[in-house]
Structure 1
C-alpha cells in the first residue's frame, strides 16, 4: 500500500488526515518542516506528498520547486487560501491537486486515491517502441525521443506529449490535455496546460530550432503535426 508523507505544522489537521488515510489502508509519516521532508524524501521516498502551503521554514510552493529538482512524486497542496492565482501557481510548479482549508479528511483521502490511480503504470508495450515521424515514444521506460534525442521531460510534460502523439493532427482541448496529465480538470486549471505547452515547445526547439510540431488552435486547443 502507498506511503503518504504529510507535511503540515498544525497537529490537529495532521491527526485527522492520518486517521482518514490509515482508515483507507495507507501508511503515513508526519513532519512539520519542509526541509526535513525534503531530506527524508532523498533517503526514504514517499509515494505521495500532502503539503501545506504555509509552513514555518519555507512556503509549500518553494518546497515543491526544490522537490521537483530531484523527484516527480505526486503532490497534493493544502492551503488556507482559495485564490485562483495560488491554485494555478501550485499546479504550474508541479502539484497534482489542491485542497483549500477547511476540508473534509475523507475528501482528501479520496483525492489521494484518485491521484495514485491515475499514476498507475500501464501494461508494458511490445519490445520496439513505436515511432511517429520524428518522435519515438518508449512507453516501458517512459521516455520520448525527438529526432533521435531524448527529451528531458517532466512527468506532466511527458503525459501531455504522449496524448498528442497518440492521435497526430487531432485537436485536443485544454481540458482533455489537463486530464491526461493526471490533474483534475474539475477545478478549472486549464491555463496550466499553456505553461506546459510553452515548456514543451522550448525543449523541442532545443533539438530543432525551427520546430513547429505543436500547433495552437485558438479557442479550441492544441494538436501535434509530424514534421
Structure 2
C-alpha cells in the first residue's frame, strides 16, 4: 500500500481527496502548510507527495525547492487551472507532474499511480548496467553516474533518460518519450518533456566538444549522443 502525503491548506478538499484515495487503496496523511509538509516529506516514509502551489507559511514552490535539496521524493503539483507559469516553474524545480485545480479525485489517483509506475516499471527486472560515453546507468537500482560521480534525478527525469539511454544514438520523438516515460500520450502544447529535458541537460556533463549529451532534433525529438 503506497503512502501518499497531501500538502494543501484547503481542509475540505483534502478530506475529500483523502477519503477517495484511501478507498482506492492508498494510505494517506495530510498537512495544511508548506513547512509541516516539508518536515513530513523528508522523513522517508512516503512514496509520493501531492503539493499545492498556494499555501500559508511556506508557498508550494519554496517547499518544493527546499525538498529537492534534501530528497528525490516524487512530487505531484496542484496548480491553478490555466496557470502555465506555475506549471513550468514547478517542473523546472523538480516536480514530476501537475494536476490543475479543481481536479477530480479520480484524476488525481490516476496521476499518482502513473508517477508510481514510472518509478518502478521501466527498470524492473533489469539489473544491467548501461554505459553511453561518460554516462552510466543502473535501471534496477535507479542510479546514474556521470564521469563516476552520482547524479541526483527526479523519477521523471530518470525515466526520460532511461528511454534515451536504451535508444542511444537514435532520435526518440516527444510522443514516444511521453508515452514510455510519462505513461500518457503527448497533449497539444504539453511542455513537460521539454522542461524535464532542460533540467537533465543541466544535471549531466558535456561532451568533449562542450555540447550537451542530449541534443534536440528539430521537429523530431531528442537524441542521447554517443561520445
Q: TM-score band, normalised by the shorter chain? A: 0.7 to 0.9
Q: Which residue does 1:23 correspond to in 2?
A: 23
Q: Which residue does 1:152 correspond to in 2?
A: 151
Q: Which residue does 2:124 correspond to in 1?
A: 123
* CA drift at 1:46: 1.3
* CA drift at 1:5: 0.8
* CA drift at 1:12: 0.9
Q: Which residue does 1:92 correspond to in 2?
A: 92
Distance 1:210 1:194, change over 3 A: same
Q: Distance in 1 between matches of 2:145 and 2:43?
A: 30
More displaced, 106-115 or 4-13? 106-115
Distance 1:94 1:185, change over 3 A: farther
Would you say 1:222 and 2:195 are equivalent positions? no
**Structure with the greater alpha carbon radius of gyration:** 1
1:6-41: CA deviation from partner (whole Å, max 9, x where unpaired) = 111122101101110110121111111111111122
Q: Which residue does 1:6 correspond to in 2?
A: 6
Q: Distance in 1 between matches of 2:148 and 2:191?
A: 29
Number of corresponding residues? 225
Counterparts of 1:1-227 in structure 2, within 5 Å, are 1-121=1-121, 122-126=123-127, 129-146=129-146, 148-155=147-154, 156-182=156-182, 184=184, 186-188=186-188, 190-205=190-205, 208=208, 210-227=210-227
Distance 1:34 1:63, change over 3 A: same
* CA drift at 1:205: 3.7
Q: Distance in 2 between matches of 1:201 and 1:91?
A: 14
Q: Distance in 2 between matches of 1:36 and 1:95?
A: 18
Q: Secondary structure, in 3 states, of the residue corresponding to 2:42?
A: helix
Q: Distance in 2 between matches of 1:14 and 1:75?
A: 16
Q: Is the 8 A contact 1:178 1:190 kept in 2?
A: no
* CA drift at 1:2: 0.7
Q: Distance in 1 between matches of 2:79 and 2:131?
A: 43
Q: Is the 8 A contact 2:4 2:46 kept in 1?
A: yes
Q: Distance in 1 between matches of 2:30 and 2:225?
A: 46
Q: Distance in 2 between matches of 1:103 and 1:205?
A: 38
**Structure 2 unaligned runs (5+)?**
none
Q: Is the 8 A contact 2:92 2:199 kept in 1?
A: no
* CA drift at 1:209: 6.2
Q: Is the 8 A contact 2:169 2:223 kept in 1?
A: yes
Q: Secondary structure, in 3 states, of the residue corresponding to 1:17?
A: helix
Q: Secondary structure, in 3 states, of the residue corresponding to 2:9?
A: coil
**Structure 1 unaligned runs (5+)?**
none
Distance 1:133 1:206, change over 3 A: closer
